[in-house]
Amino acid sequence: MFLKIGIAIVLFVILSEIGLAVYFVRRTLLRTQTNIERTLDMAGTSWEEYIPQIQNDREWLWQQEHELLTILSDDGLKLSGNLFPVKNARGTVICLHGYTSNSVRDYTSLAKYYLENNFQLLLVDHRAHGESEGKYIGFGILERHDSLRWIEYLNERLGNEHKILVHGTSMGAATTLMLTGQKLPGNVCGVVADCGFTSPWDVFKSVLKNTYHLPAFPLLHLTSLIARVIAGYDYTECSATEEVKKSTVPILLIHGSADTFVPAYMCEEIYKNCPDGEMQIIEGAGHAESFYKNPQLYKEKLQEHFAKCGL
């Protein structure tokens, strides 16, 4: 009697954990189940005071000359981006947006700043985001390969002498940092990573603890396994912390001290492993808020980084 009850309880717990794992995978990886409003709520940054500036900058941005581009990923997905050409540009900046967002949402004021400083821009929609195809989000692990394809496309179009800078925000920052571990063409002269996480495993562990008040084991292990089965990767496959060790380009890390979605300690951990890196913590800035919270300091750091990258 007691044995049967014990077995029933164990089976119930196991099935409950599996069901919860499937639920979390669907909410986080599956394009059709994710949405920007939920992500913004979890990130906790208050954007109200910046909305007028963002709207004005977005309106200005899309009045500039631009061209819709598409390429194919290594696994056959059509990836979309918009190129904003500039004559006699200092270089081209590839902008990589955050989780459940798109290039238009994440790069408005920053895009305006880059264009006004004589940089061409390539605003990319990650796989399973915006106008790009894809069913599953890769949290940088899959997107780093897509980013390399965009670099190769630019080199075919503009030539290998044209300098390229990669600037990523949030998941785009993690993608950017993971990208540095790959063999990059010599004209990629540097990267900027704003509020990037150390790895998908680490950021999910943090969210489970701080948002859902749940332990990592066994839920995170199960979700990682399910991601491997359905999306072709698991959360431990790649980490920004390890990939930056292989970097051959200057890295500028920016993070807000008040970021509760991707804690600032992740930035510090990444920085310790950068062969050629600089870190700037923006006091009082929440997730992805640094450029708006202290634009003067942010721009100063960018200008210093441009000089370091030979731009």
Q: Answer for the pair 277, 251: CB distance below 8 angstroms, yes or no.
A: yes
Quick count: other Cβ atoms within 10 Å of Cβ 10?
Answer: 10
Residue 231 lies in domain: 1-33+201-237
3-state secondary structure of 289: coil
**Same domain, residue pair 82 and 61:** yes
114: in domain:
yes
What is the crossing angle of helices 295-308 and 109-116, to 10°? 50
**Same domain, residue pair 112 and 191:** yes
Do 1 and 108 lie in one domain? The reply is no
Last residue of a domain, one of 188, 216, 237: 237
Residue-by-residue DSSP string for 228-242: HHHHS--TTS--HHH
pLDDT digits (tens, 9 = 90+) for 213-241: 889 999 999 999 999 999 999 999 999 99
Q: What 8-state DSSP symbol labels residue 33? A: G
Structural domain contains residue 42: no
pLDDT at 18: 82
Considering the domain architecture, whether residues 17 and 61 belong to the same structural domain is answered as no
pLDDT digits (tens, 9 = 90+) for 246-263: 999 999 999 999 999 999
Q: Is the residue at 226 inside a domain?
A: yes
Q: Are residues 124 and 251 both part of a single domain?
A: yes
Q: Which of the listed residues 237, 265, 300 is the one where a domain comes to its end?
A: 237
Domain boundary among 237, 264, 286: 237
| Percentage of the residues of the chain whose pLDDT score is greater than 90 | 85
pTM passes above 0.85 = yes
164 within domain boundaries: yes
- % residues pLDDT > 70 (the chain): 95
Q: What is the DSSP string of 70-120?
A: EEE-TTS-EEEEEEE--TT-S-EEEEE--TT--HHHHSSHHHHHHHHTT-E
Q: Is residue 25 part of a domain?
A: yes
- Cα–Cα distance measured from residue 92 to residue 88, given in angstroms and rounded to the nearest whole number: 11
Report the pLDDT value the prediction gives residue 224, as an integer from 0 to 100.
95
- The answer as to whether 147 is a domain residue is yes
Q: Does residue 233 sit in the same domain as residue 266?
A: no
Helix (H) / strand (E) element for 311: namely none
Q: What is the pLDDT of residues 64-105, one digit of tens each?
A: 999 999 999 999 999 999 999 999 999 999 999 999 999 888
For residue 266, tell me if it sits in a domain: yes
| Residue 251, number of CB atoms within 10 A of its CB | 24
* Three-class secondary structure of residue 123 per DSSP: strand
Compute the distance between CA of residue 208 and CA of residue 198 in angstroms, rounded to an integer.
16
Total domains, the chain: 2
CATH number at residue 53: 3.40.50.1820
